[in-house]
Structure 1
Amino acid sequence: MGNKFLIYLFALGFLTLSQAQKKKITLEEIWRGSFRTEYMDALRSMKNGEDYTILNYDRSSGTSSLDKYNYQTSEKLETIVASGGSVPYFSSYEFSGDESQIILATEIEPIFRHSRLGIYYVYDVATKNITKISDVKIQEPSLSPDGAKVAYVYDNNIYTLDIASKTTKQITSDGNKGTIINGITDWVYEEEFAFVRAFAWNSDGSKIAFLRFDETNVPHFSMDVFGENLYPFQYEFKYPKAGEENASVSLHMYDVASGNTSDVDLGDTYYIPRIKWKHNPNELSVQTINRHQNHLKMYTVDATNNAVSLLLEDTDAAYVDITDDLTFLDDDSFIWTSERDGYNHIYWYAKDGQLKNQVTKGPWDVTRYYGYDSKRKKIYYQSVENGSIKRDVYSISTNGKKKKRLSTKEGTNSAAFSADFSYFINTYSSATTPYEFSLHQAADGKLLKEIVNNSALLQKLAGYDMNPKEFSTIEINGNDLNMYIIKPSNFDPNKKYPLLMFQYSGPGSQRVSDRWLNGNDYWHQLLASEGYIIACVDGRGTGYKGRDFKKVTYMNLVKYETEDQIAAAKKLSELPFVDETRTGIWGWSYGGHMSTNCLLKGNDTFEMAIAVAPVTSWRFYDTIYTERFMRTPAENPSGYDDNSPFNYPELLKGKYLMVHGSGDDNVHVQNSMRMIEALVQANKDFDWAIYPDKNHGIYGGNTRLHLFSKMTKFVKENL
């Protein structure tokens, strides 16, 4: 017994020593890329199904190359094009349908979340000739299927370039900043429907369908840009806040041969969130949705005469999500996803819109639709049927039979399939394994080859003080909520530790998932090494647990989510190793709204909160997002005001830090300014910081480092 005790003491001493010898993560390392993972950037399958392309960068030399690899061997076959000589450094690429031409993006300048300006070139694969599309910065260039022409947008108008003759033709002429936009989306469509290019070539390049936005009556928004000059200036754009007027959107058809543009009458359409051509070059699918976003219609437009016919409808008592899960098969029957049975599943419809089969069924959500293999009659998808915090890749026949799980590792799996669905490259990670890329047979998921892993990063992190996420569920308000906890280094269950909770909580989101770490996770590791318990709970309204769990927050954003976080904090405080007098919470954006609300409405539970770029009233946020979940302020005033924290600043008792970027085009700094004024008038003590000209991401140069240094100091001083 004595020997065993000595061995135990020796082992305990060794563990303590080894823990003490490990380095602590630093903020400088997190935000200067020391833990960056290796990826396979911009991977695209070639049409032959045997090869794929990857965009490779050499950071040391500042060069880029587009390289072709073979699926089976993973060996590089050739460099298709590389920067140097007449080819400038490029940061993205897009093939024409026949792969004869490639658009190369250079000198990219971001506008909003997805939109970019840039100088673009067309590279001819056979001749190696390079053609500059325009001498000025343009948006969204797109090659015709045969690679002969490229369409693009400049100053809100659509143009085409004939590559052989180098002649440019202007298709629209009424585009004007602040009034008319042709071929690209306005701010709110870009942010909430997640697309910028609002035009599309048909399958034979004879037509271009495009959207036109008239935002004349959309309220004007401006924000000061402080810059580095003597005088600041105002950046102005149209931003429709909840209940205000949106742009009037219309659909138009351009005939390439005649040069004529015609209008398509879609009736009293409010939003047009998607257009997509079928295989038939004369048939365009158009999705429309009403202002409440609970009644989606998909139409077929006959491009020969612009006749419109209804193809499909999808309704919901709350709202219908807009996705890209639409694929037209060779005969123009189509695959579609819907939550109509309570979970997101795959449906197969005939060409005329009649339902042929509900392909997937069960109490779980399909999370990605990958495509249809016409040769083997298989559909490929990703789902959470192996657990809501995990992702797996599956195949299934169109009749709903012969389902097969193709991924094997527990965690998060996603797939990039070859054009003919012979192979897929699986991207895998978990909370303990950084990204791994491997080649598999699509037929059975058999592993063919490991391609890229991040073993070097894993080896590097072995020398750091890292603490695992412990996944579990917690029963709160009648629901089993997903949760993880990170315990401090050298955790002692007999000690009391402060608790810092992290969440986002927005509709359909997920923060508790078995996947590799991001910047916030590394920061949480730093805090755990300093003696803090980190907890994250996905409450009601978050995603991947079915329609009802997600949509229970309809008309009352933040109410139930706040109740869940407060209840979770109280329950966690009952644990013997949690100091119930030192409970904090933090979040960004929606999560900032949440952390603010929790500190005020849970002022007997939380002693500290940090809110970064918070919403403080949904009246200040945009139409599409807010009205999807809340309807308009006129229809639902209490839903907007009962959970807006600047309406009850007197509830503040704990320590509060609020941070915002003055150049936030998404969640305007107005949100924080109104909260600040309310707290000042309530004579409440709090801390706040404004980052000049920084947008919703609050980054650039040393900005993130400074922000997280401030947050770390605030946590250490107040929790």
Structure 2
Amino acid sequence: MKFPKIIVAFLFATTAVLNAQKKEVSLEDIWSGTFSQERLQSLQSLNNGDEYVVLNRDKDSGTTSIDVYSYKTGKQTRTLVDSKNLKGVDFFQGFKFSEDESKVLLSTEVEPIYRRSSREIFYVLDLKSKELKKVSDNKIQEAAFSPDATRLAYVFENNIYVLDLESGERNQVTSDGEINSIINGITDWVYEEEFSFVKAFAWNKTGEKLAFLKFDESAVPEFSMDLFGKDLYPTQQVFKYPKAGESNSEVSLHMYDLASGKSEKVELGDYNDFYIPRIKWTSNKDLLSVQVLNRHQNNLDLIFVNAKDNSAKVVLNETDKAYVDITDNLTFLDDNSFIWTSEKDGYNHIYHYSENGKLKQQVTKGDWEVTNYYGYDAKADRIYYQSTENGSVNRDVYSIKPNGKSKKRLTERTGTNSADFSADYTYFINSFTSVNTPNIYSLHKAKDGKMVREILNNNELLEKVKGYDFSPKEISTINVNGNDLNMWMIKPSDFDENNKYPLLMFQYSGPGSQSVSNSYFGTNDYWYQLLANKGYIIVCVDGRGTGFKGADFKKVTYKELGKYEVEDQISAAQKLGERNYIDSNRIGIWGWSYGGFMSSNAILKGNAVFSMAIAVAPVTSWRFYDSIYTERYMRTPQENPSGYDENSPLNHVEKLKGDYLLIHGGGDDNVHLQNSMRMVEELVQANKQFDWAIYPDRNHGIYGGNTRLHLYNMMTDFILEKL
């Protein structure tokens, strides 16, 4: 059918007007929070299972309150604590209940230390009598109620104290604590970062015993950072940081008896140079479980310590040709049998063991991964977990009997589903997202997954983004080096397959990570939309070494970090460059942290493929990084020198041909600025031109004030100019 020219002209004009009405996203939009999702407030189930509590803040008065809500209706039923009624506490920043919920611990004046640690001023509020007691005039760490709520244990200046809440008597459990030497009851830097915990003490069920870890870090080398601030002279932060192959803290287990007031060191066995990544009391008040991991992290013993005589017995041994992952999934049932997760059949699954460590049942099985263990409901005799059974980019929530039977899928929508269960497992709050759907929170019955009500959605955000010229994030796979790798792609909104577009690849690629998932836009995705609208195609490929596709796929990079992952990024770029709509002469790559290590290697080893790279806070040699993380995947530099050096960007700088931007935070306690400074020196000595920027005093996240906006302006300008 032919249209009159005037009608054709009208159609073109109308299309132009519609396109003109679409907004262009700006970096100011992104970093001012324009596209922030509504999130469900952090909630905590009460013991009754019918109600939960939320910490609310009144913006007008500046006061905070702990408010109680009904799971079933979502309506507030009462207020437990309101700071306007507390003498001397204007507001509090966090809270913890005692086990019986008779008392609550309120934290104020929180002073962050590292990623997970902080010092705080604590108060104890008796919810019945309304009596408020200040725990200490000093800022202390990791305060925790005894099970009967009569005592409180905490750490101050590396020593453990126990406060009797009735008499006010304060007992000092340890006295040898010393900064940068001896730590009692909290972890050292590397444990906090890599084993993901700070509180290193635990009450038994009756509150008669307190088990704790002691770290002797006197032989650990010190690392120092200059912090420039705004004063006339800079300050220096000095802390113990064991780099790969260097001395770790000597860790030991101790048992404190409250009745006698004495501590005793527990002899765990004939171990040398080892870690204690977890301690946890079993259902038996006299049995403490202790996980002991060798330095290579490929041999894990689960030990039961009898607190009556401090004798130790190995009940389970887990080995792996590469490494054993540490989790928080260990759960003790009433009969002291226990739930355990393991990759020993090639995929992460749930196992049920008797108290003596004999396997009762492999609960889950299949060519898919259990990605989250939610717990066990004794009343229903069911285990709740999350898995990739519906595809490695998806997540669903399931329940199953400990005997491996009667499995139920409790979520229906395809995408990323996660769950937060009520204390008695009557309900769970499901968070659902997909590439097309920002987070939706809904309440479901745990018995069958039936939805009770929708709690919160992000429909307003969906309406808002309709006003912008955005493209969908397309999830697919690409076959690279014999593997079908997960991939997402964002194209320009006016994409024309007859045109050729420059390609920017993003990746992280660290062991067990995942960057390609069926989930909605994150902050960087809006940046990718901005770049796409300027004529770029953005792609992310999860190569070998990433997670959720089995142990072999994840652990293939063992002892050679930066080899197979880089090969996959180079090969994926080559394969994408063969597509008729991608300009193979204009392919760039960027990444942060491990991703910066990757992007640096990619432009060096793949200099015929990549013409541009940005590396933010990169590791440039694993010799510079911490012992626990690095040796888990690489062993020590003394044992594996070629693995460290052959894949270090420092040793390939002469191969640089394209445009390279190097960025780091000057106060990065994690990936030290040393990495980038050494890279700069090697590039200078190789007479290679490059761009670089240091953000003074900024940590590994490089944020604060206008920092992120400035950073992304710089990276955007670099991409627009160089790619």
Q: Give the structure-1-normalised TM-score.
A: 0.98
- Map of 2:41 onto structure 1: 41
Aligned to 1:193: 195
Matched ranges for 1:261-272 at <5 A: 261-269=263-271, 270-272=274-276
Matched, 1:567 2:575: no
The residue number in structure 1 matching 2:65 is: 65
Tell me the equivalent position of 1:178: 180
Match of 1:298 in 2: 302
Find the aligned partners of 2:60 and 2:36 in 1 and give their Cα distance: 16
In the other structure, the counterpart of 2:21 is 21
Q: Match for residue 214 of structure 2? A: 212
Alignment correspondent of 2:78: 78
Q: CA deviation at 1:119?
A: 1.2
Mapped partners of 1:138, 1:40: distance in 2: 30
2:714 alignment partner AA: K
Distance in 2 between residues matched to 1:375 and 1:10, nearest whole Å: 69
Q: Tell me, what secondary structure is at the counterpart of 2:437?
A: coil
Q: 1:446/1:220 Cα in 2 relative to 1: closer, same or farther (>3 Å)? A: same
State the 1:41 CA deviation: 2.6
- Offset at 1:88? 3.0
Q: Following TM superposition, by how much is the alpha carbon of 1:61 offset from its aligned partner in structure 2, in angstroms?
A: 4.6
Distance across 2 between alignment mates of 1:34 and 1:419 = 35
Inter-CA distance 66–654: structure 2 relative to 1 (3 Å threshold): same
Pair 1:653 & 2:657 matched = yes
- Within 1, Cα distance between the matches of 2:607 and 2:204? 58
CA displacement 1:44-102 (0-9 Å, x = unmatched): 11111111112223445533321111111111111211232523322222111111111
2:512 aligned partner:
508
Between the aligned partners of 2:6 and 2:157, the Cα distance in structure 1 is 78
User: SS where residue 594 of structure 1 aligns?
Assistant: helix
Deviates further, 33-42 or 586-595: 33-42
* Distance in structure 2 (CA, Å) of the matches to 1:6 and 1:160: 87
Secondary structure, counterpart of 2:715 in structure 1: helix
Residue number among 705, 709, 712 corresponding to 2:713 in the alignment: 709
Structure 2 match to 1:94: 96
The 5-angstrom pairing of residues 492-531 of structure 1 reads 492-531=496-535
Q: 1:608 aligns with which of 609, 612, 628?
A: 612
Residue-by-residue CA offset, 1:219-238 (whole Å, 9 max, x unaligned): 11111111111111211000
* CA displacement at 1:164 relative to structure 2: 2.3
In 1, Cα distance between equivalents of 2:700 and 2:555:
26
CA distance in 2, matches of 1:145, 1:90: 23
2:229 maps to what in 1?
227
Counterpart of 2:262 in structure 1 is: 260
Q: Would the aligned equivalents of 1:16 and 1:490 in 2 still touch at CA under 8 Å?
A: no
CA–CA separation in structure 2 for the residues paired with 1:465 and 1:92 = 40
1:158 aligns with 2:156: no
| Cross-structure match for 2:407 | 403
Q: CA deviation at 1:4?
A: 11
Structure 1 Cα separation of the partners of residues 651 and 402 of structure 2: 53
1:679 aligned to 677, 683, 687, which one? 683
Q: Deviations over 1:365-394 (max 9, x none)?
A: 000000111111111000001010011000
Post-superposition CA distance 1:472-511 (Å, at most 9, x none):
0000000000000000121111111111000000000000
Counterparts of 2:525 and 2:206, CA distance in 1: 48
Q: Sort the Cα spacing of 1:526 and 1:162 in 2 relative to 1 into closer, same or farther, 3 A.
A: same
The secondary structure found in structure 2 opposite 1:706 is: helix
Q: In structure 2, what residue type is equivalent to 1:525?
A: Q
Q: Check 1:702–1:41 CA distance in 2 against 1; reply closer, same or farther (3 A cut).
A: same
CA contact (8 A) 1:345 1:360 kept: yes
Q: Distance in 1 between matches of 2:72 and 2:386?
A: 23
- The counterpart of 1:427, out of the listed 424, 431, 442, is 431
1:337-358 Cα distance to aligned partner (Å, 9 max, x none): 0000000000001111110000
Cα 1:54/1:228, change in 2 over 3 Å: same
Instruction: Judge which range, 84-93 or 1-10, deviates more.
Output: 1-10
The one-letter amino acid paired with 1:669 is L
Partner of 2:51: 51
Matched residue type, 2:82: A
Q: Is the 8 A contact 1:296 1:315 kept in 2?
A: yes
Q: Deviations over 1:694-718 (max 9, x none)?
A: 1101111111111111111111111
Instruction: Give me the whole-angstrom Cα distance separating, in 2, the residues matched to 1:4 and 1:523.
Output: 42
CA–CA distance in structure 2, aligned partners of residues 713 and 457 of structure 1: 28
Verify the 8 A CA contact 1:88 1:106 in the aligned structure 2. no
1:300-344 CA distances to partner (integer Å, 9 max, x unpaired)? Answer: 000111010111111100000000011101111110000000000
Q: Kindly report structure 1 stretches of 4+ aligned residues shifted beyond 3 Å.
A: 3-17, 57-63
Indicate the SS of the match to 1:17: helix
Letter in 1 for 2:91: Y
Q: Which amino acid aligns with 2:68?
A: K
Corresponding position: 1:556 with 2:581: no
**Is it true that 1:454 corresponds to 2:458 in the alignment?**
yes
Shift in Å, 1:19: 3.1
Tell me the matched-pair count. 719
Cα distance between partner residues in 1 of 2:6 and 2:252: 80
Q: Percent identity?
A: 63
What amino acid sits opposite 1:503 in the alignment? Q
Partner of 1:280: helix, strand, or coil?
A: coil
SS in structure 2 at match of 1:288: strand
C-alpha displacement of 1:8? 8.5
Shift of 1:14: 4.5
In structure 2, the gaps of 5 or more residues are: none
Tell me, in whole angstroms, the C-alpha distance in 1 between the residues paired with 2:556 and 2:576.
24
Unaligned 5+ segments in structure 1 are none
Kept in 1, the 8 Å contact 2:382–2:401? The answer is yes
Counterpart contact for 1:391–1:413, Cα < 8 Å: yes
The 10-residue stretch of structure 1 (338-347 or 54-63) with the greater mean CA deviation from structure 2: 54-63
Match of 2:285 among 281, 294, 304: 281
Q: Residues 312, 492 of structure 1: CA spacing in aligned structure 2 closer, same or farther, 3 A cutoff?
A: same
Distance 1:163 1:21 in 2: 65
Q: Could you tell me how far apart the structure 1 residues matched to 2:685 and 2:632 are?
A: 33
- 1:379 is matched with 383
Please give the alpha-carbon distance, in whole angstroms, between the structure 1 residues aligned to 2:43 and 2:411: 19
TM-score with structure 2 setting the length: 0.97
Contact kept, 8 Å, 2:62 with 2:90, in 1: the verdict is no
User: Which deviations, in whole Å up to 9, do the C-alpha atoms of 1:456-486 show, x marking residues without a partner?
Assistant: 2222222122211000000000000000000
Q: What is the identity, as a one-letter code, of the residue corresponding to 2:400?
A: I
Query: Structure 1 residue 12: deviation in Å?
Result: 6.4
Q: Partners of 2:369 and 2:362 in 1: how far apart?
A: 14
Q: Deviations over 1:548-599 (max 9, x none)?
A: 0000000100100000000001111111111111111000000000000000
- Quick one: structure 1 residues 431 and 82, their matched pair in 2 at CA, closer, same or farther if it must change by over 3 Å? farther
Instruction: Name the CA shift for 1:506/1:6 in 2 (closer, same or farther; >3 Å).
Output: farther
Q: 1:334-353, aligned counterparts within 5 Å?
A: 334-353=338-357
